[in-house]
Amino acid sequence: MSDGALSIEELIEAVRARGVRPSVADHLSTDVSLSVKSIEGVRAYLDALEPHDVARGGEFCWHDPLWRELPDELAARFTHRLGSLHAVRIPGATHPLSMFHRALPDELTPAAYMAHHLDDLERLAAEMPVDILAHPTLLPLPLRNLPVDELWSDALEERLVDALFRADIAFEISNRYRPHERLVKRAHERGVQLSLGSDGHTGAQVGDLAFPFEMAMRVGAEESALFDPYVHGTRASR
């Protein structure tokens, strides 16, 4: 119901064919172009999912107000909720910097950007009632091709995994925005649960957990370290 290509029925069928339990997590945000943008829209989204045997997730943007306005009765109908940094506040700027903007503001170095990124990440973890941090390594377009070590220091990685651990929020191993192994290992060793996510939008992508699963195994995660929405979600009353 946002930017995915499949109906609910088609998604369930494609995911089950891979031997994976289906889960839907549309964009629920006023600041994503193709998304569910209102409380009434969220209600209709949950109404549409409930007749199906599918986990009811939703991806909310930290910088967008919709998640703050969600009534408890609607929040309680999700099996799990995801929080995302799709834009980060830059002190002195009029608008948050979108991850899909093609340029960094003048004189903002990658290191300075990363410090602001972690500041917002810590606020998200402390305030947002979500179960999973979606794609923890999604960064602004101009930074995406820089080497991991120019972006992520030990100190920044520690801040990220500590914030998630304190808030009991799982780390998504996204198949779309793939995290580096050192960070996944650090999250796992800190005691942060790992969530396997395809971030799929098409029939070829939905439910493809081969990379996330392989990464989880590579860092030594047991099944009990994996987030299961039916066991560990949702945080409606948090």
* Torsion, CA 202, CA 206, CA 208, CA 211, rounded to 10: 80
Can residue 84 be called a binding residue for Zn ion (CB under 5 A)? yes
Residue 165 or 177 with smaller CB distance to Zn ion: 177
User: Which of 76-84, 145-153, 188-196, 212-220 is the region at the interface with Zn ion (rule: CB under 5 A)?
Assistant: 76-84
By Cβ distance, which residue is nearest to Zn ion? 84
Phi/psi of residue 173, each to 5°?
Answer: -90, 100
Beta-carbon contacts of residue 58 (< 8 Å; ≥ 6 apart): 25, 26, 28, 36, 42, 45, 78, 81, 82
Task: Tell me which amino acid residue 70 is.
Answer: L
Residue 114 or 134 with smaller CB distance to Zn ion: 134
Minimum CB separation from Zn ion for residue 67, in Å? 13
Can residue 79 be called a binding residue for Zn ion (CB under 5 A)? no
Q: How many residues of this chain interact with Zn ion, rule: CB under 5 A?
A: 2
Question: Contact letters (x/-) for Zn ion, 179-208, by CB under 5 A?
Answer: ------------------------------
Terminal-to-terminal C-alpha distance of the chain: 27
Question: Contact letters (x/-) for Zn ion, 103-142, by CB under 5 A?
Answer: -------------------------------x--------
- State the Cα–Cα distance between residues 207 and 11, nearest whole angstrom: 9
- State the Cα–Cα distance between residues 160 and 154, nearest whole angstrom: 10
55-61 and 97-98 as β-strands: parallel, antiparallel, unpaired?
unpaired
Residue 35 or 84 with smaller CB distance to Zn ion: 84
Cα radius of gyration (the chain): 17
Can residue 23 be called a binding residue for Zn ion (CB under 5 A)? no
Binding site for Zn ion (CB under 5 A): 84, 134
